[in-house]
Amino acid sequence: MQGVDPVRDVDPAWLPDEAFRPIGTRRTLIRGAGPLVDTVHGEVAGACERFGGRVERDAAPGPFDLVLELAGEDSPEAFTCERNGGCTTVTASGQRGLLYGLFHVVRLGESAFLGQRQRERHAPALDLRMLDHWDNVAVHPVMGQVERGYAGGSLFWEDGRARGELLGRVRAYGRLLAACGINAVTVNNVNVHKTEAHLLTDRIDEVADISRELGRYGIRTHLSVTFAAPMVLGGLPTADPLDEAVQAWWSEATSRVYEAIPGFGGYVVKADSEGQPGPFAYGRSHADGANLLAGALTPYNGTVHWRAFVYDHRQDWRDRTTDRARAAYDHFVPLDGQFAPNVILQVKHGPMDFQVREPVSPLIGAMPRTRLAVETQATQEYTGQQRHVCWLGPMWSEVLRFRPEEGAPVGELARGGLVAVSNVGDDPFWTGHPLAQANLYTFGRLAWQPDANPYRLLDEWIRLTFTPRRSEESARLEAGVYAVLAHSWRTYEKYTAPLGVGWMVQPDHHYGPSVDGYEYSPWGTYHFADRDGIGVDRSVATGTGYAGQYAKPWAEVYESPTTCPDELLLFFHHVSYDHVLRSGKTVIQHMYDTHFEGVEEVEAAQRVWQGLSDLVDPARHARVAERFEEQLRSAREWRDQINSYFFRKSGVADAHGRRIY
């Protein structure tokens, strides 16, 4: 279509034009050369066109309000920012640093141009800040196109072809990601099906097209590959990692990838997990498997992200000796020190699977000689599927600040970086639920600074995203959006599975309550509720021994129900319904209370949102309002099913005599 600017004619999310007004009304000088400096120039020039300011390059005569320059410094992503004598200066040695410096100024808004500013250095704590897309090229009959995707179809793939005509949208996506600090994207699902396997070889040009667009904003492209590629694509009789022909095949395939995409980041691999092929078939270890791919990538400085999500998904529920929570630790800790330097072991932040509440995986901190990346899930598989408001910032922040033992927190131990499964699709609001954009933004900013206060990041996102029509309305607008989001994760936790026990969801699609949905299934996800009590005994003394995978002090804290934090009690212990929590309430009364409260909190949040109808643009307001209807319906269903189920099991009445069906 003529006259359509693909970067700007999509939902602007946290980069509305208005956010560029302070820059666009001023005089800017840009010093330096290179493709990302051109991107910076393009951003400032666009802002000036809209707001009447001026931008010059290199040796132009001043004065200037803003100077963005490549100089000094020593790290590719760092920048400094200061303000003296009426001029704000951002200095970076690397082009990506300059881009991040520009977005820093955008975040500062008008305040970037007021008074004096001491020189401040900004650098990301983690080198790798990545989004993994679980996108398929072909539409899967059950999963749809995006596995666990709640925002429409894929942003990258359409009809089995790269979305040539929509690459502008990919560019706009890269722009949003760079503005919150993300620097790497995996463009396809870790479950690599037949069609998608070919992205590695005969369809690499399509990946290259996407990579070029993302590269304009400093984002590297990674690809999920199947471990069986030498057989599936190369026609070899084996994929044994110690077989020389297999090694040669990977080297050759990888050299072709780098011919097509010089800045390619590397491979992501889900092996021996939920039916994906892996080294176990050949009696080889996961270190052998990961090192095979690492060897092929070494000449190009590429990395392998090898996922630690390996467990028995064909468990017999009658077997009480197997504990899925133990699996990643049991499989991988013995391999510490055996991985090549360019292998990153990618570990889910909890031992199970992105439940609303889990302890931090005991693997993190237990492999000092391995680079670990921590994987989180922005896509809300178990947290309301982007129909419920559930801002995950506080949960991620708790994980990142957790100290497995005396010493470094998770945010430092994640030397291999922070990864999130993306929550984005081809939906006009990117994330289905417009407020789910806050998860994406917060993730990027936390990956840049894992010890940041998530609530300040929420403020930042709100101020960028929501523009008041009149400045006197901004306080009501910001307070309202904040009230809707800030405690939404805890609200969601209240009306769903209690006290860390997890699941209780409908099988397969994982939306909505079903207390016994996974109770007799092969997936290793049980709550063991009976008439007397509920929970999984993972103690060393009488249970599966999982608690013993932690270092001190946590092994001891989790071992006993009297010291275990309430919110994780049923993850670690099987207790009676009248067990008294540290809060002073019984387990059953806690369940009743939280389930009533959770629904009331959704009702309250919905009212707040309704009260913002005059301040939020109509399309966004309507979309959120519609999702609130469904959230409330669903929250009531959760409340009533959980309360009824446990009332029937336990026979204990609610102390407050509220209605339980």
State which of positions 586-645 bind ligand GCW (CB under 6 A). none
Q: Which of 147, 206, 240, 323 binds ligand GCW (CB under 6 A)?
A: 147
Q: Based on CB atoms, which residue is closest to ligand GCW, 37 or 352?
A: 352
Q: What is the helix (H) or strand (E) element at residue 621, kind and residue range?
A: helix 618-650
Strand pairing of 87-92 and 66-70?
Answer: parallel
Catalytic residue, chosen from 77, 196, 353, 427, is 353
Kindly state the smallest distance separating residue 566's Cβ from ligand GCW, in Å: 26
The set of long-range contacts for 88-93, using a CB threshold of 8 Å and a minimum separation of 24, is: 88/112, 88/113, 88/117, 90/66
Nearer of residues 309 and 646 to ligand GCW, judged by Cβ: 309
Secondary structure of residue 30 in the 3-state scheme: strand
Of 358, 381, 427, 493, the active-site residue reads: 381
Cis bond before residue 468 (omega within 30° of 0): no
- Report the nearest approach of ligand GCW to the CB of residue 375 (Å): 8
Work out which of 44, 190, 253, 438 binds ligand GCW, going by CB under 6 A: 190
Q: How far is the CB of 397 from ligand GCW (least distance, A)?
A: 22
Instruction: Tell me 549's DSSP state.
Output: G
- Residues 227-266 as b/e (b if ≥16 CB within 10 A, e otherwise) read bbbbbbbbebeebbbebeebbebbbebbeebbeebebbbb
Smallest gap from residue 189 Cβ to ligand GCW (A): 6
What's 405's DSSP letter? S
Active-site residue, 353 included: yes
**Mask: binding to ligand GCW, 148-167, rule CB under 6 A, as x and -?**
x-------------------
Nearer to ligand GCW, 89 or 273 (CB): 273
Minimal distance, residue 191 CB to ligand GCW, in Å: 5
Q: What are phi and psi of 371, to 5 degrees?
A: -80, 120
Are the C-beta atoms of 253 and 215 separated by less than 8 Å? no
Cα angle, residue 396 at apex, residues 190 and 99 outer, rounded to 5°: 75
| Amino acid letter, residue 384 | G
Q: What element of type H or E holds 437?
A: helix 437-448
CA proximity to 442, closest of 386, 497, 378, 498: 378
In DSSP terms, 278 is beta-bridged to none
Q: Which of 148, 151, 147 lies closest to 11 in space, CA to CA? A: 151
- Smallest gap from Cβ 134 to ligand GCW, in A, equals 5
Nearer to ligand GCW, 144 or 468 (CB): 144
One-letter amino acid at 600 equals E
Report the residue number, 420 or 547, with the smaller CB distance to ligand GCW. 420
Among all residues, whose Cβ is closest to ligand GCW?
A: 353
Binding residues for ligand GCW, rule CB under 6 A, total 9
In angstroms, the CA 275 to CA 271 distance is 8
Which is nearer to ligand GCW, 353 or 493 (by Cβ)? Answer: 353
Backbone angles phi and psi of 648, in degrees to 5: -65, -40
Smallest separation, CB 603 to ligand GCW (Å): 30
| 518 versus 638: smaller Cβ distance to ligand GCW | 518
473 is catalytic: no
Residue of 274, 530, 532, 614 marked active site: 274
**String of contacts with ligand GCW for each residue 466-485, x by CB under 6 A:** --------------------
Kindly write down the DSSP assignment for every residue of 266-291, as one continuous string. EEEE--SSTT---GGGGT--HHHHHH
Count CB atoms within 10 A of the CB of residue 471: 7
Query: What is the SS3 assignment for 105?
Result: helix
Q: How far is the CB of 310 from ligand GCW (least distance, A)?
A: 10
Closest separation between CB of residue 396 and ligand GCW, Å? 17
341-360 positions binding ligand GCW, by CB under 6 A: 353
Q: How far is the CB of 316 from ligand GCW (least distance, A)?
A: 20
If one asks whether residue 191 binds ligand GCW (CB under 6 A), the answer comes out as yes
Give me the residues paired with residue 91 across strands. Answer: 69, 80
DSSP string across 211-275: HHHHHTTT-EEEEE--TTHHHHTT--S---TT-HHHHHHHHHHHHHHHHH-TT--EEEE--SSTT
Contact between residue 195 and residue 160 where contact means Cβ atoms under 8 Å apart: yes
Q: Closer to ligand GCW at the Cβ: 70 or 130?
A: 130
In this complex, which beta carbon is closest to ligand GCW, that of residue 274 or of residue 530?
A: 274
Binding mask 274-293 for ligand GCW (x = CB under 6 A): x-------------------
Instruction: Please say if 274 is a catalytic residue.
Output: yes
Sort strands 371-377 and 79-84 into parallel, antiparallel or unpaired.
unpaired
Question: Token pair for residue 42?
Answer: 């393009």
Q: 541 vs 328, 500, 550, CA distance in Å? A: 21, 20, 14
Closer by beta carbon to ligand GCW, 191 or else 467: 191
The helix/strand/coil state of 347 is strand
Residues 436, 388: contact at Cβ < 8 Å?
no
Which residues are identified as catalytic? 274, 353, 381
Which residues here bind ligand GCW, judged by CB under 6 A? 134, 147-148, 190-191, 270, 274, 309, 353
